[in-house]
Structure 1
Amino acid sequence: MRKNKTVFQLERFRNMKHKMTLQGVLVGLLTGIVVGLFRLVIEKADMIRTSYMLPLIGGGRIWMLIVIVMVIAFFVYILAKWQPLASGSGIPQVKAELRGQLKQPVYKLLFAKFTGAVLAIGAGLSIGREGPSIQLGALVGKGYSRATRQLPVEEKMLLTCGAGAGLAGAFCAPFSGAVFALEELHKNFSVDVLVSTMAACISANFVSAYIFGLDPVFDLSIPHRLPLKQYWILLLMGILLGLLGNVYNNLMMKALRTYDKLPKPLAIGVAFALAILVMTFMPQALGGGHSIVGQIAHGEFELCYGILDNKIGTSILISLIIFFIVKLIFSAISFGSGVAGGIFLPLLVLGAIVGGIFGETYNQINGTQELYIANFVIFGMVGMFSAIVGAPATGIILITEMTGDLQNFFPLVIVGLISYIVADGTGTSPIYDLLLDRLMSKNNEKDNMSDEEEIAYQSKLKKRASKKVIIESDVYIGSPADGNKIMELALPPGSLVISLVRHGKEIIPSGETIIRGGDYLVVLCAEDYQNAVFEKLDELCKTVAYDDIDKANL
């Protein structure tokens, strides 16, 4: 019976591509609706904060503002306590589920993430909507899978479709959503994943465009191109952004570790108390900061000091430096508190500020007025994203789609690549890998269970042992697997290489089949062993082995 069931699963897998593409479209439409509603509610919350909450400061009713913000903080805490997986951006949670390291409840978590992020962003914390949008999309994909009784491998595919569609709907960037799914979530290139996720991203983007229009997220209008003879400055910019990416990641992890020492209510209270101070003295630092990017790019940025406004005068350059420091610290304190919210938009704003600082300095030295400010702004955004997230391809495509500008693609590639290399060279890990490690160290599925939960857990393990999942992996040239036979892989028990794709052709392998760099392996394993198989494949197929140098050839 089990053999027949496994054969049935394999047959479904081999005919899965077209089916998943069609279902990806449906998941994308559903995700587009959820994420579109999410964006609309956040925009409404931002409007309420600007029109009704901020005027309370000037009207001498700051006590009322404090009460409102603290009430919001209380509800955010209740949601975080009820659904701990709603904390943070949500991207590490999605990555962990794709690797079989945790299970996310669908409907409860969907409600908690949606509501918690709206409240936190609406109250002014320096967090973004994009990470939550990715998690919301993944939950939509998982919910659809459960409702239609998909196989585990199909569920992971639909979860990926939803996650990519979430990013596409949040930023109106369909190609970026698909590339993000490959580069960050799966960390390998799969045509099946690309096609189905691209279908989901396109349909989600269609819904988003229908609601919000076809204009790019950042309508910067960049009429000029940086002269080739000035490209040396891109090298300096990439180096600085790579170093700042290291600082950012370390600061975020430091903030999280510091908050771990505080009771959860106090941690969230600190972040919201700081939000009140920022509302009072520098309201431009509130929220993600979407509108700030356009102001900097057009040379129209003026730092507002809240109740001290018109009492302090600073140059644009000094204002940008001050704003960068405040935004960086506020972002770390906001995200570190563990509220529902992401870092995508705040880190892009920080990159835009660095770009503005570079642009202002460049223009003052060369006497070009505001000619290339917008160029440096987008260079800063792609460099900061590449350094922090460790996904340069996604960053380059994302900024291109968000600005609708193709003429600066070449310098974007240069800055993105240099900043990524510098950040990687400093020894910092990509932020979402750091957050995933932290999540799993705090989320051991078997620990902290009552006796009843332990019995249920053991029963679940027995059921999972009979379920099969499909895991795919590229084989890097020079990896330990390159040149070895399949029988020599020493995969965990209960796993089997069922397919090998070479030069676009599928090979049904045997134990004697020799693996070559550039091959694509498909492995069938028991669901309970999928994380061990993931780790083993990463070790064997994605770690490049360097042989010792033959001294005789020196």
Structure 2
Amino acid sequence: MTVTEDVRDDKRARGPVGSRVKPSAALARRRSASWAPMVFAVVIGAGAGAGSIVFRWCITTFTHLFSGHADYAADPGSGNPHVSWLGPCFVILAPVVGGLLYGPLVQRFAKEARGHGVPEVMLAVAQRGGRISPKVAVVKTLASALTIGSGGSVGREGPIVQIGSALGSTLGRLARASEERMRLLVACGAAGGIAATFNAPLAGVFFAMELILGTFSAEAFGATVLASVTASVIGRAAFGDTAFLTLPDFHVDHLAQYGLFALLGVVAAVVGVGFSRALYLVEDACDWAWRGPEWLRPAVGGLLLGLVLLALPQMYGVGYPVLQKATEGGYAVGFLLLLMLGKMLATSLTIGIGGSGGVFAPSLFIGAMLGSAYGVVAHRLLPASAGAVGAYALVAMGAVFAGAARAPITAVVILFELTGEYSIILPLMLAIVLATATGRLLTRDTIYTLKLRRRGIDLDGPASGAPIGGQPVSAVMEPLPSALAASTSLEDASDLLSRSGHGALPVVGDAGEYVGVVTARALAEALAEQPQAAPGRIGRLAEPPAIVTADQSLAQAMHTLLSAAGTGLPVLDEPNGKPVGWLSHQSALRAVHTSRPQPVRSPSRAA
């Protein structure tokens, strides 16, 4: 609610001059409504924090049950003391047993809990009004913990995002929140989950806004911050306030290092996009090969995963101890590259057979292996200027994720918070920006949106069955209103604009060329500021708006229309860029009305 509206409503609440009555019920409701998202954000943050504690406890419990270790990647190749007679070969059976447990669970209660989770949350926010089944929180917790505990080479960020988002959606449904408010509560759950699980409150906020909501606003920022802080407090009380990695101080001592970091950003983007492609290539292969019931697929596919773990036991679970050792220079270049490729295969296979887990931690792992190998080679070629090997590992971790997910702000913030290493921030920003740009050049989809597009879902397009969105703009646009000449005075333009019925009008130059659009708001502000002695011309107020073309889908054009000033936008012809029509909110609504099937009148009623 704006300040003006608050003052206006407060004046209505006052009685005659000199008297004062209690605020009206409407004003009280509006004030309470403005506080509701903040209260809900705190509650959701607390729930996400508690959920992260339960989730991590489940992972530790199942890992110890299946491997006999708190984290098998810390001692790869050892045996399981529970079945010591199997030696290291127990890793062949662990994914099979885990699959027999979580396969039927997911198939029976929540199929959307399969996979890495974030795409389902993005879809719920973009096209389903933020609605996520509450069953997902419970099923995702158990399925992901069983997957990771039994050797699945996936991360825990995707599950906790889906768990926290399901909590936010459930609370919104109980409170009968609007769709817009529901989306915000889902984002609060995602922010709280990331913050508590990784001890990264800022990263939780930017992850929710950049990847889940896809937009930034003051209300969304405030609510997600509250959820993130609340979840972080609970998470730190349970897990302690420690950094994700313990690294020595890094310093850029030579300007040539910036060139090396820039090149690393480009290489990391290629690797990140390659990881995304490999993930879905293996998933396609699993879909093609499997002909049995879905509930049995994780167990049968677990045999293949077990063989991979037997050959490379470092792939068991999330693999943070291996990542830490790589940043410390504990592996040779050849083995680092083998671990990088092995992680791509193990993660892809875990997801392909129906496992449940995230892809963020694997992208960090892949980046650490790539960066360490790159740093070793750079140090051998340029020993005087290359610098520390661990710095390249840290930078590549963020760059691979940025190249795959194209979330540069999240990548910078989360790497800074996960490591607590500020001295590397400039090279990190440079490499991540270049990785994001390179990733955008290589593919239009991210590792998250590609999963949805393969199912025929475009997050920028209409929801399935929606009455609006599939039509081309040319089919619904109105005739172009009379344009204003750039030389028209402000006073004359004001008269013409007020009688046009539009909140904005196109402006053309002396030669008839299209200049831009002038809005009623811009004109009113100019008239209020300009002295009466200065006539002024409308051409200086014309600004080119965001482009809408005639062959564009209405769903894509609606995003542009809703964010534009005024009540409409000119529709441009793609070849020459000249306006050929006008798209307004009314014409978009008219498309909804005409696309609905009309009721058939019975003959008797017609008579």
Task: Specify if TM > 0.5.
Answer: yes
| 2:340–2:369 CA contact under 8 A, matched in 1 | yes
Correspondence for 1:538: 559
Distance 2:53 2:165 in 1: 15
What is the RMSD computed on CA atoms of the aligned residues? 3.8
Correspondence for 2:50: 33
Correspondence for 2:197: 170
Which amino acid letter does the alignment assign opposite residue 453 of structure 2? D
Distance 2:463 2:558 in 1: 23
Correspondence for 2:323: 293
Give how far 1:61 is off: 5.9
Correspondence for 2:135: 108
Closer, same or farther: CA 63–378 of 1 in aligned 2, 3 Å: closer
Task: Give the TM-score, by structure 2 length.
Answer: 0.68
Q: Which has the higher contact order (CA 8 A, sep 6+)?
A: 1
Matched, 1:359 2:375: yes
Give how far 1:177 is off: 1.2
Q: Which residues of 2 match residues 208-357 of structure 1 at below 5 A?
A: 208-225=235-252, 227-261=254-288, 262-263=290-291, 264-265=294-295, 267-301=297-331, 316-357=332-373
Give how far 1:101 is off: 3.3
Q: How many residues align?
A: 463
Which amino acid letter does the alignment assign opposite residue 55 of structure 1? G
Distance 2:505 2:303 in 1: 58
Distance 2:542 2:125 in 1: 25
For residues 448-468 of structure 1, the C-alpha deviation after alignment (integer angstroms, 9 at most, x for no partner) is xxxxxxxxxxxxx9xxxxxxx
Which amino acid letter does the alignment assign opposite residue 152 of structure 2? L
Give how far 1:92 is off: 1.3
Give how far 1:139 is off: 0.8
Correspondence for 1:55: 79
Which amino acid letter does the alignment assign opposite residue 70 of structure 1? V
Give how far 1:487 is off: 8.3
Distance 1:10 1:346 in 2: 50
Give how far 1:31 is off: 0.7
Distance 1:341 1:393 in 2: 23
Correspondence for 2:550: none
Closer, same or farther: CA 369–410 of 1 in aligned 2, 3 Å: closer
Correspondence for 1:3: none
Correspondence for 1:508: none
Distance 1:26 1:372 in 2: 44
For residues 356-400 of structure 1, the C-alpha deviation after alignment (integer angstroms, 9 at most, x for no partner) is 011111222233699512211111011101100011111011101
Closer, same or farther: CA 30–359 of 1 in aligned 2, 3 Å: same
Give how far 1:97 is off: 1.3
Which amino acid letter does the alignment assign opposite residue 361 of structure 2? L
| 2:262–2:434 CA contact under 8 A, matched in 1 | yes
Distance 1:174 1:22 in 2: 18
Correspondence for 1:84: 111
Give how far 1:169 is off: 1.4
Structure 1, unpaired ranges of 5+: 1-7, 302-315, 448-460, 462-482, 490-499, 506-513, 520-531
Correspondence for 1:72: 98
Give how far 1:204 is off: 0.6
| 1:95–1:436 CA contact under 8 A, matched in 2 | no
Instruction: Name which of structure 1's ranges 96-105 and 166-175 shifts more when overlaid on structure 2.
Output: 96-105
Task: Give the TM-score, by structure 1 length.
Answer: 0.74
Correspondence for 2:529: none
Which amino acid letter does the alignment assign opposite residue 273 of structure 1? L
Closer, same or farther: CA 320–148 of 1 in aligned 2, 3 Å: same
For residues 75-113 of structure 1, the C-alpha deviation after alignment (integer angstroms, 9 at most, x for no partner) is 221022121111112111111111233875533222111
For residues 148-201 of structure 1, the C-alpha deviation after alignment (integer angstroms, 9 at most, x for no partner) is 343333222211111111111121111111111221112221111111011101
| 1:299–1:370 CA contact under 8 A, matched in 2 | no
Larger radius of gyration: 2
Closer, same or farther: CA 247–542 of 1 in aligned 2, 3 Å: farther
Correspondence for 1:179: 206
Give how far 1:486 is off: 5.9
| 1:259–1:267 CA contact under 8 A, matched in 2 | no
Correspondence for 2:229: 202
Correspondence for 2:490: none
Matched, 1:391 2:407: yes
